[in-house]
Structure 1
Amino acid sequence: MLIPPDPIQRFADVFERARQAIPVDPNAVVVATVDADGRPSARVVLLKDFDRRGFVFFTNHESRKGRELLGQPFAALCFYWQPLDEQVRVEGRVEVVSPEEADAYFHSRARGSQVGAWASLQSRPLGSREELENRVEDVEKRYAGVEVPRPPHWSGFRVVPDRIEFWHARPSRLHDRHVYLRDGEGWRAQMLYP
């Protein structure tokens, strides 16, 4: 079996099949980070963009994942699309997207999500639901009738891949696994035992 030479194009092809097969959040991906002590943490986020530079998601940089990524700038992503029997794993260093990229995405979001980015002290203890609702009300009043600006603590991260693995389920657990490893400006591909 020939391994396609370009992992980004291969991802684009699989992702398009996932978008057609999965009606809700086919862009859901688990992102794993580590803290300063090497303790791992994983959660689901939504992939918002990808290209040859990497895979982008957005978050509050003061959240647990934000702090971990700023402190230990490496991450792993894991996509799993059960209807396709496909999984893609991405590993690499992390960089903050440009302010222009963050602004463009922030202003494409629904107003409620923009307000929520200001109101939520993401990952911090919350005394009550009422406390959160009061914060939302305060932000709504502050920006009544005007565009909600992007908070300075809210932006995106790009995972710049140096390893991308594709997994496709096969009978008897004899799955297809192909790994791509960064090799200068290109990629080196090889098969893996299932």
Structure 2
Amino acid sequence: MSADAPTPPTPASPDPSTPSSPSRPTEFVRLLRAQRVWDTELPDFAPAAAPADPLPLFERWFAEAVAAGQTEPHTMSLATADAEGLPDVRTVMLHGADQEGWHFASHAGSRKGRHLAARPYAALGFYWPAQGRQIRVRGPVAVAPPEVARADLHARSTGALASALVGRQSEVLDSYEELERASDAAWDRARREPDAPAPSWTVYVLEPDEVEFFQGDARRRHVRLTYRRTDGTWRKDLLWP
């Protein structure tokens, strides 16, 4: 008698921990990979000639970003954390920078305002692709006096005042029509009362512990210069990119 034919082996079940074979890129991925970075001539940066304090270098880079045609160079990312330590980030406008720190504003009852009340520490990020530059700033945040907030608000446009008068930032909105009605009323008041108060409007000042200047390089030899405050003085260090 002939021997029974061997039973074919049972295929092994796939190991869920083993990644599957790569699939063809999606249209989104193809579009993403087609984007170029810093497709322009980038400026040089000699960190050895950088000033002892980060503020003059920030002011110089800001002026150079404006001269280079950078769109909205005064906007920045603001990162905060809530009471549980969960991070959040959004884009806001820089209102000033001086020896006290970097200034921005919002409503005290907004999400960022609540975060800063619970954890008064934040980080800022500027990105100016026209020159391949980034600046990162982080440190404790203090609330400026109310008169500073009033002066800040009334130095701005009618639209800025109207937006502040609407208030209720980060609250749930039942319908867009409700916002339209509140905004129309706020615009009318802002035109009639250019000095109208917005009590929740708050100016915050981030006093930097650390400021990093990043200059991109086409050959990926990026220059990273960091300033760290120690005992009231600044220490400068280069970082590997």
What's the TM-score, normalizing by structure 1? 0.93
Q: 2 CA distance for matches of 1:56 and 1:21?
A: 24
Contact map agreement 2:136 2:212 (CA 8 A) in 1: yes
Q: Which residue of structure 2 lines up, in the alignment, with residue 72 of structure 1?
A: 119
Q: Which residue of structure 2 lines up, in the alignment, with residue 136 of structure 1?
A: 183
Q: Paired residue for 2:171, among 124, 129, 132?
A: 124
Q: 1 CA distance for matches of 2:191 and 2:230?
A: 51
Aligned length: 194
Identical positions, percent: 36
Q: 1 CA distance for matches of 2:143 and 2:226?
A: 26
Structure with greater contact order relative to length (CA < 8 Å, sep ≥ 6): 1
Q: Paired residue for 2:81, among 23, 34, 57?
A: 34
Higher share of residues assigned strand: 1
Q: Which residue of structure 2 lines up, in the alignment, with residue 8 of structure 1?
A: 55
Flag structure 1 segments of 5+ consecutive residues without an equivalent.
none
Amino acid at match of 2:79: A
Question: Residue 104 of structure 2 aligns to a residue in which SS?
Answer: strand
Contact map agreement 2:70 2:129 (CA 8 A) in 1: no
Flag structure 2 segments of 5+ consecutive residues without an equivalent.
1-46
1:18 CA displacement: 1.0
Q: Which residue of structure 2 lines up, in the alignment, with residue 172 of structure 1?
A: 219
**Segments ≥4 residues shifted beyond 6 Å:** none
Q: Which residue of structure 2 lines up, in the alignment, with residue 149 of structure 1?
A: 196
Contact map agreement 2:161 2:190 (CA 8 A) in 1: no
Q: Which residue of structure 2 lines up, in the alignment, with residue 187 of structure 1?
A: 234
The 5-angstrom pairing of residues 105-120 of structure 1 reads 105-120=152-167
1:172 CA displacement: 2.8
Contact map agreement 1:111 1:148 (CA 8 A) in 2: no
1:182 CA displacement: 0.4
Amino acid at match of 1:129: Y
Amino acid at match of 2:162: V
What's the TM-score, normalizing by structure 2? 0.75
Amino acid at match of 1:54: G
C-alpha spacing 1:3/1:39, structure 2 compared with 1 (3 Å): farther
Q: 2 CA distance for matches of 1:145 and 1:106?
A: 16
Amino acid at match of 2:220: R
C-alpha spacing 1:185/1:152, structure 2 compared with 1 (3 Å): same
